[in-house]
Structure 1
Amino acid sequence: MTANTDFEVIIIGGSYAGLSAALALGRSLRKVLVIDSEKPCNIQTPHSHNFLTQDGQTPAAISTLAKKQVKKYGTVAFFQGIATRGIKMGEGFEITTDKQKKFTARKLIFATGIKDVLPPIKGFAECWGISAIHCPYCHGYEFKGKPTGILANGERGFHLASLVHNLTNNVTLLTNGKADFTKEQIAKLNRHKIEIIEKVLTEVEHEMGKINQVVFDDGTKKGLDALYAALPFVQHSEIPDSLGCELTEQGYIKVSAMQETNIEGVFACGDNTNMMRSVANAVYSGNLTGAVVNGKLTVEKF
């Protein structure tokens, strides 16, 4: 908890992107507040991969170490809570939290991530992040050679199938209804012996989040060790939209190469801005955002 209410920068979201931005700003002696709910979207994920020096580490361990390192910089403060409202005020912004605390700052950084919209399939939520997974780069190696399903259709399903087939020859496409592939795509899938099942998926049978098999609406079952799912998502925070930040066609916050939104003084980084959903990308984009925001503040005050 912090007694101060006025800062140079408020960072909403204290996971990898937010902490990376805070580190860059803290090292430049900027007065920064990080508002974090401490409820990361990867809370069920057992291990993080594809991040140099941290491969195989738990997400919580990476975050704990990162926060410990950021806290060494005395100008960075933390507030545990959820930012619920943001308004433009003169040359800055006011943020209200779920605890009715209000904070002001000249610049805002949204590192709030996205929220997956899980399908209403029994057992799916319990497996999400463990054996029901979203990314071959993050999770694929651990399921190499294993019976693997892909819950997706059309172009997205075909793309995932091509990536996953490089990791295992035992791939099944679960289209959850009528398949939507071109003749050329079907020919390629057949050539690689990738089965297409058009039945509706009703249940994921598992033990402590580890899939045993999936069940279809006709009662038949398919044994799987892993299930990739291309899920829809929404922005985790509604504040960027309320401030007028533009979104891309895919639903990400639209930013420039310097992580700037279309609203002056508002920046975004991490999973909420692009589909590269990895710890490494979040850390990179947060670091860049922190440097850019520091540069903006320097120009304004120097």
Structure 2
Amino acid sequence: MNTKKNFEVIIIGGSYAGLSAAMALGRSLREVLIIDSGLPCNRQTPHSHNFITQDGVQPSVIAEKAKAQVLQYKTIKFVEDLAVDGKKSAQGFRVFTEKGEEFTAQKLIFATGVKDLMPAIKGISECWGISVIHCPYCHGYEVHHKKTAIMANGEKGMHLATLVANLTDDLTIITSGKADFDKEELEKLKRNNIEVIEKKVLEIEHENRYVKNVIFTDRSTTSFEAVYASVPFVQHSDIPASLGCTLNEQGYLEVDMMQKTTVEGVFACGDNTTRMRSVANAVAAGNTTGAVVNMELAQEQF
């Protein structure tokens, strides 16, 4: 276990955004602690895409390489643990972990991501991130020209349909209940030969986690090779909210252009702040966050 307890910055979450922030800080000789539980949300995804130099690489390989590079900076420490509580203090913040450790820092960075909430549909969890997917930029090219379903309704369904229609001519929207599209939207769907099925889904039938069929509650079946699903999520960590950080209407941590939350000294980056969930975006946001936190420390200490 790490023997040092006091740091300039604690980063909670040691995946792409957290590691990127740490590198920026380590290169400025900042004393940094990364706390990570080792459960990234994309741990089931076989390949990462849309990130130049790393296209097609397994996400865990990217993360391990990044971690090794970051820890070459001697002022950065890493502990595998789960941060369970955080409190403000006169000097900054105190962070408590599942293993009973307490660490302090002047600044906090939350790179904790979000937790997807799988609906009660048999097979969907097994296929998540493999053939049941959330993002056409991350996964769409690999399933282009395949028979594809979108499990979403209303605004989310239309948003995905406009993007995915460019990737396949065989597209269906499954609304799992009465379709929530206005007349103009329905005309657009019809013009693009996109069928709308209002039935509820019972099961995603798959072979080795690759979709074969969608089975509906009326026991009818339709074959598909890929399914986009818009699922709800929650913040992976409730510490930011307990510190007073504001969540926006979509459930993301509210940050400004400098990745600052609504609580002074607390920053956030990565999937917990934006619907643009990708490795590339997380790395970029983390880099910005690390630079901004270093700037604040420099100005306070100068």
Q: TM-score range by the shorter chain?
A: over 0.9
Read off the aligned partner of 1:73 and give its amino acid letter.
Answer: Y
CA–CA separation in structure 2 for the residues paired with 1:209 and 1:191: 33
Q: Give the Cα separation in 2 of the matches to 1:84 and 1:237.
A: 8
User: Partners of 1:159 and 1:40 in 2: how far apart?
Assistant: 26
For 2:38, what is the secondary structure of its paired residue?
A: coil
Equivalent residues in 2 for 1:1-302 (5 A)?
1-302=1-302
SS at match of 2:252: coil
Q: Within 2, Cα distance between the matches of 1:156 and 1:117?
A: 16
Report the residue type matching 1:96 in the other structure.
Answer: F
Letter in 2 for 1:136: P
Note the alpha carbon deviations across 1:183-226, whole angstroms, 9 max, x for none: 11111111111111101100000112111101001111010111
Offset at 1:91?
2.7
Shift of 1:232: 1.1
| 2: CA distance, partners of 1:218 / 1:229 | 20
Q: Deviations over 1:228-252 (max 9, x none)?
A: 0111111000000000001111111
TM-score by length of 1: 0.99
2:231 aligned partner, one-letter code: L
Tell me, in whole angstroms, the C-alpha distance in 1 between the residues paired with 2:158 and 2:282. Answer: 26
Structure 2, gaps ≥5 residues long: none
Aligned equivalents of 2:163, 2:276: Cα separation in 1:
15
Distance of 2:92 and 2:65 partners within structure 1: 31
SS in 1 for 2:286: helix
Query: Per the alignment, in what secondary structure is the counterpart of residue 23 of structure 1?
Result: helix
Instruction: Indicate the RMSD between aligned Cα atoms, in angstroms.
Output: 0.6
SS at match of 2:159: helix
Distance 2:159 2:70 in 1: 38
**Residue type of the alignment partner of 1:110:** F
Deviations 1:269-300 (A, max 9, x none): 01111111011110000000000000111111
Amino acid at match of 1:26: G
Secondary structure at the aligned position of 1:295 is classed as: helix
Q: Amino acid of the residue matched to residue 141 of structure 1?
A: Y
* SS in structure 1 of the partner of residue 234 of structure 2: strand
- State the Cα distance separating 1:162 from its structure 2 match: 1.2
Q: TM-score, with normalisation over the residues of structure 2?
A: 0.99
Residues paired across the two proteins, number = 302
TM-fit CA distance, 1:159: 1.3
Matches of 1:208 and 1:35, distance apart in 2: 34
CA distance in 1, matches of 2:98, 2:277: 27
User: SS where residue 261 of structure 2 aligns?
Assistant: coil
Pairwise CA distance, 1:56: 0.6
**1:205 is matched by which residue type in structure 2?**
E
In structure 1, runs of 5+ residues without a counterpart are none
